[in-house]
Amino acid sequence: MKNSFCYLLLIMVISLAVGGCGRGVSPVRKAMQDYMTQYPESQLCDVYKFCFQDYFGPEHLVSDSAAMADYILREIAYADSVGDPWQKPPFAYPTGLEGNFVRVDIGFVRNGTLTAGQLAHAFVESSKGWLDGNERSVEQWKEQWQTIQSELRKVEPLPKNFEEDSTLIAQALAKGQYAFHHSQRFNQTYHQHYRIIRQDLWKDLLARAQQ
């Protein structure tokens, strides 16, 4: 178990260190190409969510770790009851362009690597204070999203229904709507169950899991 965690941490560190270092390829395009290679059935809203989570952190502010732990256990039980497949090993995928957060599969709880309480506590802590002192305005995000879309047009595969979804997202942003759900296509293809954990807190969880 310890060896597998060391390997996972090494892969994460390497991926963050070398992202965007391909010759002649911008870091943004490299990040988008890596994402679309991993999740080719994504629609534009899924890419948006992937980058938005990295920029702004968890979309839901929570303060009750016990309630979140209970919700995680109920989510696992429900996924099992409907036959959702679980990725083996569970995934831990850094978000967006900077890897500020990690999408942590709650399968780590299901297989006993982490407790629901550990993951819930890390999630609650991740939702606190991320924007305090960070100059991350909505206007700056809208500019970054335009850059992301521009680079995304140069990767293969292009997200499904790109142009139509681009218009819908632009209309939503103009109305002050900034958070989006995963597409039905994404959910039906990947059956993901994860929590957004800040990168440093995830590394702490990995270290404790090895002890």
Contact assessment for residue 159 and residue 189, using Cβ atoms and an 8 Å cutoff: no
Q: Taking residues 187-199, report their average pLDDT.
A: 96
What does the angle CA 203 – CA 9 – CA 127 come to, to the nearest 5 degrees? 30
Tens-place pLDDT, residues 2-20: 444 443 443 443 344 334 3
d(CA 22, CA 41): 24
Residue 41 has pLDDT above 90, yes or no: yes
pLDDT, mean over the chain? 87
The residue ranking higher by pLDDT, 42 or 134, is 42
Amino acid 25: pLDDT: 83
Q: Exposed (0-12), middle (13-18) or buried (19+): which is 63, by Cβ within 10 Å?
A: exposed
Amino acid 38: pLDDT: 96
Tens-place pLDDT, residues 46-93: 999 999 999 988 876 678 999 999 999 999 999 999 999 999 999 999
Amino acid 148: pLDDT: 97
User: Cβ neighbours of residue 160 under 8 Å, at least 6 residues apart?
Assistant: 41, 42, 43, 185
User: Cβ neighbours of residue 54 under 8 Å, at least 6 residues apart?
Assistant: 94, 95, 96, 97, 98, 99, 100, 101
For strands 92-94 and 101-105, give the pairing.
antiparallel
Residue 110 has pLDDT above 60, yes or no: yes
Contact assessment for residue 22 and residue 29, using Cβ atoms and an 8 Å cutoff: no
Residue 180 has pLDDT above 50, yes or no: yes
